[in-house]
Structure 1
Amino acid sequence: MFQHRSLFHLFVLLFILTLIPCTNISAETPSPLKPDTPYTAKKSEPVTHDVEFSIIVTPPYHCKSLKVWVPVPQSDAVQEIEDSHFTTFPVNVNPQISSEPVYGNRFAYFEFHNPHGAQIITHRFQAKAWNLNWQLEPETVETVSNWPDQFSLYLTPQNIQDQQQFQQVLKQIGKETQSKSPGLIQAMNWIDQNLTYDHINASLQADANHALSQRRGHCSDYHGLCATMGRAMGYPTRVTYGLGLYPKNSPSHCKLEAFLPPYGWVSFDISETQKLVKAIQSSSDLTTQQKQNFTTAARQRLRSGFRENSWLLLTKGTDYELAPPASKPVRIIRTAYVEADGIALPEPDPANINKREFSWMTSHRYTADKAFKKPFKDLSTLNSD
């Protein structure tokens, strides 16, 4: 008798449950918008790099206090850092490792007292990196009318000196965007069409004013201007700086990241794509049709979001205090920041063929566990079908 009553109550409960509307919480409740959302790119072709990176600093004569901040790469969802170790020569100095509170960038801080001659700081570590493909489809990017307060850092444009010119450019981009989405893609197109890569006339500071007025510059000028354009259009953006993990005169390289729901932070490289397309168009080994196919493929890869397995992220963001604080905030950090008796030493630019003097310089050696292709040099990495 007891068993029959239990079965009856069970059937009644099941019947009542069928009358209650079914709610799919995961489908109807969107994921919260957070700047610290992990990268969502598809990872492929991992490469492990053994890195030996040195910074050789030449302090001024009779310098009393030499201070050096070196960015420390961090592990996240798309790169893994192990066996990090610093040494100095000829003076032994143990670094202070700290994180600045704005973007969470980590730095190794060295202080040399009454240094005599050049000081060498060497960072040895192992880095595992992947090719990252976001497979972004512009028409699926969601519009956000009210961003959470945590995104305010990424939505404030750099102060533009020539506002009239800037607004004219935004208006031009807006016209191109009427039938296309998102507007950030049109901003990248405008920069590609209007800026010229220049090893000499560059700010080295992700300066939107330099890029807008000169229409020339390094990767940081390209991406600094695009970041400011994106923010003016309502897209959270940031400049990211890192290392190219293969021999090159200037080891640092920057990229643009934009937070585009539902993809989260997506990485774009406008300057390297432009240089690749220029090499394709000037090649004497390709037919006209091949040039067209490779150009289309390169620009499509740019728009869909891509980061290579030979690039390592060091810092995110612009305009922040170092940790521990320097004499003033920094705009960006490429490979190091150096002060002698409270005065910043000149930023070296080894890509500038006219420059012959350096207050500090980098030396680097990378050993990969396997051969890898350079996506902005090797056309076989492009799907040009």
Structure 2
Amino acid sequence: MNAKRLSISLVGIILLLCLGAGARAESPTKSSAPPDRVRNFKFTYHADIPVSNPAAKKFEAWIPLPREDAFQQIRDLKIETPVHFEIVDQGSNGNRIAHLEAIAPLPTSVPVTMSFSTIRREEAANMIAAARDLPEPTDRHFAVYLEPNRLVPLTGRIAQVSANLAETDVTPLQQAFVDYEYVTSIMKYDKSGTGWGRGDALYACDVRRGNCTDFHSLFIGLARARGIPARFTIGFPIGSAKSGDVPGYHCWAEFYSGGVWVPVDASEASKHRDRHDYYFGHLDAARVAFTMGRDLVLKPPQKGEPLNYLIYPYAEIDGAAVPQKEIKTKFSYADTGA
């Protein structure tokens, strides 16, 4: 692989190429403009959830809400639906949902439209702080970021690859960069065939293609296998035009080093090679974040198994999950200026 080392100097962090860039088989895709530093936009999230059983007695749905943090401010949140709903804090990772509920007689479908205005700012890690070689955190708050997920095992193949990539006498930041180099060098953004999109780290490791969930599941697995806390966030991309429809979700990762969280967008780095180094430590503002974490048990709890991730609506009728492919969704945005 193309291993890159990080070294610390008085002027900051310098990336040193130990080997050439020959392992990157694809030609760089040039971005038409610099990364967005700030975006102001209105986002609309619409879903129509079918009730296929007219004799059903109970309907429930869980709709993810946009998160609020240092990089994303939400205002004028509005939810329109003909059934009762309440906003429920999920108690971890800043996640919130709108919980919809109805009892018989049920309609043939339940529409829900959520809209909100957003100020999204570029996320840029303090790389000087991240380069510090501090002991790994022992606080129980970090335990979830070091544990395996159902589709992100930390043993077997993932452990083997992680061990092969392991460097000696390096900081977590340096090791994470080696992992990032590996993922962006071997993987191709390719949504053909089947198996992609589940965030299956073993699939990504062996097949070496997929979408953003696959890229970041592999990165998170490699980091956690080395004792580096890492976490997963999912939301939506925002296009470069002033307004438009959003075809689907986007996700990214963060790892913990030197007492700070460092963002990584490996799939965007793969698609835009001229931003390869930028996406290690930065996230552009052309996105909106919704939910953090995997294997989610919701509040109130769903009857089904833990959710792989939550970005599209999850619904149950009499305790049985509504197939995702039956739920119609539409997402759009419109810039609102400064």
Relative to its length, the structure with more helix (as a share) is: 1
TM-score by length of 2: 0.78
Paired residue for 2:163?
A: 171
Relative to its length, the structure with more strand (as a share) is: 2
Gaps of 5+ in 2: 1-35
Paired residue for 1:36?
A: none
Contact 2:60–2:102 (CA<8 Å) still a contact in 1?
A: yes
Query: How do 1:1-385 and structure 2 match up within 5 A?
Result: 45-62=37-54, 64=56, 65-88=58-81, 92-113=82-103, 114-134=105-125, 136=127, 140-158=131-149, 163-175=155-167, 181-200=173-192, 201-246=194-239, 247-248=244-245, 250-262=247-259, 264-277=260-273, 294=274, 298-303=275-280, 305-327=281-303, 328-347=305-324, 358-370=325-337
CA-to-aligned-CA distance 1:93-116 (integer Å, 9 cap, x gap): 131211223434110011233434
- Partner amino acid, structure 1, of 2:65: V
1:332 is paired with a residue of what secondary structure? coil
CA-to-aligned-CA distance 1:311-364 (integer Å, 9 cap, x gap): 1111111123111110132221123212233222333xxxxxxxxxx3112212
Shift of 1:207: 2.3
Q: Matched residues in 2 for 1:339 and 1:156: separation?
A: 28
- Partner amino acid, structure 2, of 1:69: W
CA-to-aligned-CA distance 1:266-292 (integer Å, 9 cap, x gap): 211001110112xxxxxxxxxxxxxxx
Change (3 A) 1:342 1:216: farther
Contact 1:204–1:220 (CA<8 Å) still a contact in 2?
A: yes
CA RMSD of aligned residues (A): 2.7
2:83 is paired with a residue of what secondary structure? coil
Shift of 1:213: 3.5
Contact 2:316–2:322 (CA<8 Å) still a contact in 1?
A: yes
Q: Matched residues in 1 for 2:231 and 2:153: separation?
A: 20
2:323 is paired with a residue of what secondary structure? coil
Identical counterparts, % of pairs: 24
Contact 2:136–2:228 (CA<8 Å) still a contact in 1?
A: no
- Partner amino acid, structure 2, of 1:191: V
Q: Matched residues in 1 for 2:235 and 2:118: separation?
A: 12
Change (3 A) 1:341 1:368: same
Gaps of 5+ in 1: 1-43, 278-293, 348-357, 372-385
TM-score by length of 1: 0.69
Change (3 A) 1:63 1:125: farther
Shift of 1:238: 0.6
Larger deviation: 64-73 or 231-240? 64-73
Shift of 1:137: 5.3
